Structure 1
Amino acid sequence: MNKSFLKFVTDFGPLAIFFYYYYNNDKNLSVAIPPLIVTTLIALAIVWFFEKKIPMMPLTSGILITFFGGLTIYFNDPIFIYIKPTIINILFALALFFGKYFTNEPFLKKIMGKSIALTDIGWELLNKRWTFFFLSLAILNECVWRTQTEEFWVNFKVWGMLPITLVFTGFQISLINKHKLDE
């Protein structure tokens, strides 16, 4: 099976199912979350079947979707699904911030060092920028879900956070180019 097609289906299939149930059931999270959880678990099983491993990001995301989605359903309170992005982004920020104390180098270098060759200063700056970015995303998510409608938050979560992340990533290119090591 084509790896990129498999990745596309397993990444976006659960999201498509979520939107289908959300918009065809009066924008009801309680109806849309169970199929999201089930399709996320199916997607993880498919990845395991074909790859014999599950990458850390999809696995973490699947666990958190199942956990927070389950809490949302059990308590019939959407706050749990609202705070999931906040908690994920805070965890990423904390991992980047404290990771350097456990690895003696910027944690981002540990994760991406084989993909990009940067100076130590470049890794420090990139690590700090991503730390603050994740904290900012957490704060932004809190502001949006606390001040906007549920439908606005759902659309912001899917169609807002991704472009914000892509734009931020694009702004890191100049730092990467400035601190790139000649290979």
Structure 2
Amino acid sequence: MSAILGGMKQLLDLVPAVAFFLGWVLYDIYVATAAVIVALIGVVIAYGVIERRLHKMHAFAAAVATVFGSLTLVLRDPVFIQFKPSLVYCCFALLLAGSHFVGDKVLLQRIPQHTLVMPDANWRKLNAAWAVFFLAIAALNLYLVYFQTEAVWVHFRTWGYSVLTMLFLASTLPFLMRYLQETAAEHERSTSDDSQS
């Protein structure tokens, strides 16, 4: 059941990007903007039904898209919806960076998980790396808005940011794997000790 729910969530996460792309391909940037607003609000509602709670990240993305998308639709200027990814990624970067100065743990370290145990210094490095990555993506989006065609921006907004995020995540795996392995080894040792006692 959890695997089915996980698959549903992954599909849900793709819906806004696909809705935006299809709206642009079949009509124009304005239909695409309306489609992504509706899709993001739909994703928030769907997550609410599945998880029975407000998913903050999706709610934030939907709120930003609604504000900037509405400006695009009312003023008939696509630049507002084009700024939306930069704003969202900058907010992610600021949250990650700010967590270095608030509390004992950085933001990534506070996410509940049981498979990764690292020293605080390494969590800080990983957290800082993601903050820099999100700032770089925000800057890249602005470059595409100002120096590339709308078509290039739409294709990159739909597929490029996801691919870059997956590549960056993959680049951090060698750094993380030793801690996953150490955790597994420690678990095996503790299980072995328990069985011997």
TM-score above 0.5: yes
Q: Name the Cα RMSD after superposition.
A: 2.1
**Residue number in structure 1 paired with 2:138:** 138
- Output the CA distance in 2 between the equivalents of 1:171 and 1:7: 24
Unaligned runs of 5+ in 2: 187-197
Structure 1 runs (4+) deviating above 3 angstroms are: 112-115, 178-183
| Superimposed CA distance per residue, residues 74-113 of structure 1 (whole angstroms, 9 cap, x where no aligned partner) | 2211111111111111111111111122122222211355
| Superimposed CA distance per residue, residues 109-159 of structure 1 (whole angstroms, 9 cap, x where no aligned partner) | 113554521111210110111111111111111111111101110101121
Q: How many Å apart are 1:171 and its aligned residue?
A: 0.9
**Residue number in structure 2 paired with 1:159:** 159
Unaligned runs of 5+ in 1: none
Q: After superposition, where does 1:30-109 map in structure 2 within 5 Å?
A: 30-109=30-109
Partner SS state of residue 77, structure 2: coil
- Output the CA distance in 2 between the equivalents of 1:99 and 1:70: 32
1:113 to 1:103, Cα distance in 2 relative to 1, 3 A: farther
Q: Are the counterparts in 2 of residues 96 and 108 from structure 1 also a CA contact under 8 Å?
A: yes
1:117 to 1:39, Cα distance in 2 relative to 1, 3 A: same
- Output the CA distance in 2 between the equivalents of 1:20 and 1:48: 25
Percent identity for Structure 1 against Structure 2:
28
Q: How many Å apart are 1:61 and its aligned residue?
A: 1.6
- Output the CA distance in 1 between the equivalents of 2:58 and 2:104: 27
Equivalent AA in structure 2 for residue 38 of structure 1? V
- Output the CA distance in 1 between the equivalents of 2:179 and 2:50: 38
Q: Are the counterparts in 2 of residues 122 and 175 from structure 1 also a CA contact under 8 Å?
A: no
| Superimposed CA distance per residue, residues 41-98 of structure 1 (whole angstroms, 9 cap, x where no aligned partner) | 2232222223211322222222222122112112211111111111111111111111
**Residue number in structure 1 paired with 2:25:** 23
- Output the CA distance in 1 between the equivalents of 2:81 and 2:18: 17
- Output the CA distance in 2 between the equivalents of 1:22 and 1:171: 32
Q: Are the counterparts in 1 of residues 20 and 35 from structure 2 also a CA contact under 8 Å?
A: yes
**Residue number in structure 2 paired with 1:12:** 14
Bigger CA drift: 121-130 or 31-40? 31-40
Bigger CA drift: 35-44 or 153-162? 35-44
Bigger CA drift: 89-98 or 49-58? 49-58
Q: Are the counterparts in 2 of residues 10 and 44 from structure 1 also a CA contact under 8 Å?
A: no
Partner SS state of residue 84, structure 2: helix
Q: Compare CA radii of gyration and give the structure with the larger one.
A: 2
